[in-house]
Every structure is written in structure tokens, then in C-alpha cells.
């Protein structure tokens, strides 16, 4: 078997005396959709931050296609093909939807070092393609900061998908979305996974969303990994039911 596309190997992160993530060993296989679930404070976002260069693990190793990426900056990891979205949607509010996607494309292609040619005509067809992928062609010229929450999230996906990454790290991709929007996001993610072979690791609170999308599920609790496996086996795991699923899905 080839090296996993992203691998957390005994990774821990402590903030002061608090151990947010403890000895996590988990890997994302090429072309796989993996969900990391767990109650608030379980360490899911911290794990994602360590996979995307936002945080450096206290101990342990993170590898991308077999190469250690500990200490790599976020922008360097983007150029290795690791893209992400944030729990609190992160976009460029005073730029238009088109400009948001275009800057992501230009940055990914290393074209931002051009000083003297106009930017506004560059890469328009690719920008349109990305917007079509998240079904946002209609909002092209709107200011990103004025979009509704669900639309902003979709714009953030388009930004993350710019330049065809190989790994997507999504922190609660459907937080604050309506049911219809959720279904759309599930469709979009399944499509990029199927068509482009993108590997996706996401955290999520909405259990229906998790079971609709994930091919494998990892469950975190108080910084540790307590279960991992196919959706059915995780659903049946008594410890998982106790710490997590039990609360909302016992009925």
C-alpha cells in the first residue's frame, strides 16, 4: 500500500498545561472521505490546524505523502496541495466573489509576483468553472462580505478548490447552513471526491451530514481517539454511543 496522503503519527498538542490533542494516530488515504467527530473541545479543530500548518504539534509527526510537514508554513502547504476551510468562514469580505476566487487561483499558480500587468482579466474562465462547481455563478459580482452565511461558506469552498488541491481539510463545512444548502455541499464534495479524486478530511457536528458523506469515521473525545472505522461499526460502538452519539441520537 502506498503512503497515506495525510498521516498524523502520534501527534499531541498542549496549550500551557492543557492537552488539546493527545497521541493521535490516524491517516487519510488517497481518495478517501474521512470524518472526524466528537463533542466540542474534543480537539478536532486543533488536529485540522496541525494538518494545515496553522499549528505546530508539540510532539509527533504529520506527513504528507510520506514527507514530514511539521514546521511547514500554511502557504507552503497550500502549494503542496493541502487546502482548507475554517469553522468561522474565512473569505475576503470587501472583494467581489470573482475577485475572491481569482486571487486564490493566482496565488496557487504563483502569478502574484507580476507587478505591472492588470489582474482583472486573468483566469476568468477558470474562475467561472470554480463558481459553477459550487453553484454560485449568479453571485459573481457581489461583494463577498454581503453574502448570506451559506453562500459565504460555498465561496470558501471555491477558494479552497482553486488550483485543484489533493487534500481538503474542512472544519465544519455546513455549520449555519439550511438543509438544502447542506445537501448541496454533500453533492459538491462527493463530486470533487469522485471526479478529481480529492481526499477529504472534515469535522462536523451534524450527524446526518457525517453519515451521508463519510466513508470512514474517527471519533475524538477529550483530545484522544476513541474509535475509528466504517460508519456502521462506529455507530454501533458502545463507547461512541456513550460519549457522543448517545446524547443526540439515543431516541
Partner 1 sequence: MAGKSVTVFALVVLVLAAMPYATSESNLFVLMDVLIAILFATAYNLVLGQTGLLSFGHAAYFGLGAYTVALLQGHLGLPMLVGIAFGPFVAGFFAMLVALLTVRLSGMYFAMLTLAFAQLIYTIIAEWYSFTGGDNGLPVTVPDYFFVTTHYFYLTLGIVAASVFLLWLIVNSPFGVALLAIRENPQRASFVGLNVKLYQVAAFTISGAFSGLAGALSGSLHQMAFPSMLYWTESAQPVLMALAGGIHTFFGPAVGAAIFTILNFYVASYSGYPLLIFGIVVLLLVMFLPEGVVGTLRHWVSRSRKNGPEAVKETAPADAGAGRGTRA
- Three cell numbers at 172? 465544519
**Shortest spacing between CB 77 and partner 1, in angstroms:** 9
Stretch that binds partner 1, among 107-115, 128-136, 193-201, 202-210 (CB under 8 A): 107-115
Give yes or no for residue 195 binding partner 1 (CB under 8 A). no
Among 2, 16, 18, 115, binds partner 1 (CB under 8 A): 115
Give yes or no for residue 103 binding partner 1 (CB under 8 A). yes
Backbone angles phi, psi at 41, to 5 degrees: 80, 10
Give yes or no for residue 2 binding partner 1 (CB under 8 A). no
Binding letters toward partner 1, positions 147-186, x by CB under 8 A: ------------x--xx-----------------------
Give yes or no for residue 140 binding partner 1 (CB under 8 A). no
Give yes or no for residue 111 binding partner 1 (CB under 8 A). yes
Taken in order 139, 145, 148, 153, the sign of the CA dihedral is: positive
**Shortest spacing between CB 239 and partner 1, in angstroms:** 34
As to burial, measured by CB atoms within 10 angstroms (0-12 exposed, 13-18 middle, 19+ buried), residue 112 is: exposed
Q: Residue 46: which residues within 8 A CB-CB, separation 6 or more?
A: 13, 20, 21, 55, 223
Nearer to partner 1 by Cβ, of 4 and 165: the residue is 165
**Shortest spacing between CB 87 and partner 1, in angstroms:** 12
Please provide the DSSP assignment of 21-90 as one string. Answer: EEEEEEEEPTT-EEEEE-STTSSHHHHHHHHTTSS--SEEEEEETTEE-TT--HHHHHHHTEEEE-SS--
Are 145 and 129 in contact by the 8 Å Cβ rule? The answer is no
Stretch that binds partner 1, among 11-19, 37-45, 86-94, 234-242 (CB under 8 A): 86-94
Q: For residues 38 and 218, give the distance between their C-alpha atoms in angstroms, rounded to a whole number.
A: 8
Residues forming the site for partner 1 (CB under 8 A): 52, 54, 73-75, 78-79, 83-84, 86, 90-95, 99, 102-104, 106-108, 111-120, 122, 142-143, 145-146, 159, 162-163
Amino acid at each position: 500500500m502506498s503512503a497515506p496522503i495525510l498521516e498524523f503519527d502520534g501527534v499531541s498538542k498542549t496549550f500551557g498545561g492543557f492537552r488539546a490533542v493527545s497521541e493521535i494516530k490516524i491517516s487519510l488515504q488517497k481518495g478517501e472521505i474521512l470524518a472526524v467527530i466528537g463533542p466540542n473541545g474534543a480537539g478536532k479543530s486543533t488536529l485540522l490546524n496541525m494538518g494545515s500548518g496553522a499549528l505546530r504539534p508539540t510532539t509527533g509527526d504529520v506527513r504528507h505523502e510520506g514527507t514530514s510537514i511539521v514546521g511547514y508554513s500554511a502557504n507552503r502547504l497550500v502549494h503542496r496541495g493541502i487546502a482548507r476551510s475554517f469553522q468561522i468562514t474565512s473569505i475576503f469580505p470587501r472583494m467581489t466573489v470573482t475577485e475572491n476566487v481569482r486571487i486564490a487561483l493566482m496565488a496557487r499558480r504563483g502569478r502574484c509576483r507580476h507587478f505591472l500587468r492588470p489582474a482583472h482579466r486573468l483566469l476568468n474562465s477558470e474562475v467561472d468553472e470554480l463558481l459553477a462547481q459550487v453553484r454560485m455563478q449568479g453571485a459573481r459580482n457581489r461583494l463577498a462580505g454581503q453574502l448570506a452565511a451559506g453562500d459565504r461558506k460555498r465561496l470558501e469552498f471555491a477558494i479552497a478548490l482553486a488550483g485543484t488541491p489533493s487534500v481538503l481539510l474542512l472544519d465544519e463545512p455546513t455549520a449555519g447552513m439550511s438543509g438544502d444548502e447542506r445537501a448541496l455541499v454533500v453533492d459538491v464534495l462527493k463530486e470533487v471526491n469522485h471526479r478529481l479524486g480529492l481526499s477529504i478530511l472534515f469535522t462536523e457536528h451534524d450527524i446526518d451530514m457525517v453519515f451521508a458523506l463519510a466513508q470512514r469515521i474517527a471519533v475524538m473525545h477529550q483530545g484522544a481517539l476513541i474509535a475509528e472505522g466504517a460508519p456502521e461499526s462506529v455507530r454501533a460502538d458502545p463507547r461512541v454511543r456513550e460519549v457522543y452519539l448517545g446524547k443526540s441520537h439515543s431516541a
